[in-house]
Amino acid sequence: MIEFVRNIRLWFVPEEIRQEGGTPDYRFSLANERTFLAWLRTALALIGGGFAVDQFLPDLRWGWRVGLALALLAAGVLCAFRAVNHWVRCEWAMRRGEDLPVSRFPAALGVVVAVVAIAMVVVVLLRWEG
């Protein structure tokens, strides 16, 4: 828990990371940043998908429409938070010369997106209307 709080603090004071270890090869830091930006693009796509489901499927039953939209929106929010946390953890590990952190988040996100997609396929095939 203490490490999690420290990581959140580093989100807003990233210059403190420089006090730890040595400066990694800039190519690795820039690759870490590109990965962060890719996660943010994924988060934006999920959030956009959530709004699209809510706005462009008005004939869908309210519970299905809101449920699917909220699942996509929640996945987008989690993805955005995870992007920042993963960037900090990777930068920290590179500066210390440690192995990069592993995460179950990509698998969990993939499962959530797949479940929402399957639910949307079922809704489209059965044309559940309100």
**Which ranges of 19-61 would DSSP assign to H, the alpha helix?**
26-56
| Inside any domain, residue 1 | no
Q: How far apart are the first and last CA of the chain?
A: 45
| Inside any domain, residue 35 | yes
Structurally, the chain folds into a number of domains equal to 1
| Inside any domain, residue 93 | yes
| Inside any domain, residue 87 | yes
| Inside any domain, residue 12 | no
| Inside any domain, residue 36 | yes
Using the CB atoms, write b or e for 88-110: b if 16+ within 10 Å: bbbbbbbbeeeeeeeeebeeebe
Picking from 108, 89, 109, the residue whose alpha carbon sits closest to that of residue 20 is 89
Q: What pLDDT does 97 receive?
A: 93
Q: What pLDDT does 129 receive?
A: 60
**And the tokens for 123?**
């809704």
The ranges of the chain with pLDDT < 70 are 1, 128-130
| Inside any domain, residue 44 | yes
Q: What pLDDT does 107 receive?
A: 93
Total number of residues shown for the chain: 130
Q: Which domain holds residue 61?
A: 28-126
Picking from 72, 93, 117, the residue whose alpha carbon sits closest to that of residue 21 is 93
Query: Model's pTM, two decimal places?
Result: 0.81
Q: What pLDDT does 128 receive?
A: 64
Q: What pLDDT does 1 receive?
A: 65
| Inside any domain, residue 100 | yes
Q: What pLDDT does 45 receive?
A: 96
